[in-house]
Amino acid sequence: MAKLYFKFGAMGSSKTANALMTRFNYQEKGKKVWLIKPAIDNRDGETVLRSRVGLEANAQVIKSTDRILDICPIDDIDVIICDESQFLTPEQVDDLRLIVSEHDIPVLCFGLRSDFLTHLFPGSQRLFELADSITEIKSICRCGAKATVNARFDGEGNIQTSGEQVFIGGNESYESMCWSCYHKMIMEKGRR
């Protein structure tokens, strides 16, 4: 019986590397993988999935207006792997749930839980509501504690406490932190 999986973690927790290794494992067993990512994630190129450790592959781009049920090659795949799944719409997550349930195709989603203000992304929220299996991919803060927050910084290194939920960036804009270090930086900013 196929399942809908959500594997989440803070930035830098090797989510993309895990997605690409999972793809390799399926392909090594002769399975057809439909590798997808939301169009909004264009930092490595429109169709490229690239991990910080150097693994990469081309993926089909899913626009926010796409209905996954309408574009999914259901009869020609064995598994769906979605990276950056936090950027899916709730309706697209519903489509993935239907594909699992009605077509017995496993779907593995990799993504962030929350944004730089610790609010759930809509796609992640829906995955938490619908996934059969939820797994945290752990990473650490600079202090050594488990990182759970994706802190956003401006060009001068100042922590950000307002702004749009989505701002595409990498290590130059974000740092994964534990709650304590994040809160301490926020409080220090307020005292300035």
Estimate the share of the chain in helix, then strand, then coil, as percent rounded to the nearest 5. 30, 25, 45
174 and 130 co-located in one domain = no
Distance CA 84, CA 144 (A): 25
Residue 68 in domain: yes
* Residues near 10 by beta carbon (within 8 Å), at least 6 away in sequence: 112, 113, 139, 147, 148, 149, 150, 176, 177
Q: Domain range spanning residue 14?
A: 4-136
Q: What is the pLDDT of residue 86?
A: 96
Confidence grade of residue 12 (pLDDT, cut at 50, 70, 90): confident
User: Which residue did the predictor score with more confidence, 59 or 164?
Assistant: 59
Tens-place pLDDT, residues 69-117: 999 999 999 999 999 999 999 999 999 999 999 999 999 999 999 988 8
> Which amino acid is residue 186, in one-letter code?
I
40 and 95 co-located in one domain = yes
- Residue 129, domain CATH: 3.40.50.300
> How many CA atoms lie within 13 Å of 40's alpha carbon, on the beta-carbon side?
16
- Into how many domains does the chain fold? 2
Least confident piece of the model among 7-16, 18-27, 48-57: 48-57
Strand partners, 35: 81
Q: Catalytic residues, which ones? A: 84
101 and 10 co-located in one domain = yes
| Entry pTM | 0.90
User: Which residue did the predictor score with more confidence, 53 or 23?
Assistant: 23
> Do 127 and 97 meet the contact criterion of CB atoms below 8 Å apart?
no
Tokens of 185: 């930086």
70 and 121 co-located in one domain = yes
Confidence grade of residue 191 (pLDDT, cut at 50, 70, 90): low
126 and 171 co-located in one domain = no
Q: Give 46's DSSP letter.
A: S
179 and 106 co-located in one domain = no
Residue 144 in domain: no
Q: What is the mean pLDDT of the chain?
A: 90
Confidence grade of residue 173 (pLDDT, cut at 50, 70, 90): confident
Query: What is 123-172 written as a DSSP string?
Result: HHHHHHHH-SEEEE---B-TTSSBP-EEEEB-TTSPBP-SS-S-----TT
> Residue 174 in 3-state DSSP?
strand
The percent of residues above 90 in pLDDT, for the chain, comes to: 70
Tokens of 151: 């802190």
16 and 96 co-located in one domain = yes
120 and 170 co-located in one domain = no
Q: What is the pLDDT of residue 126?
A: 98
Mean pLDDT of 133-155: 92
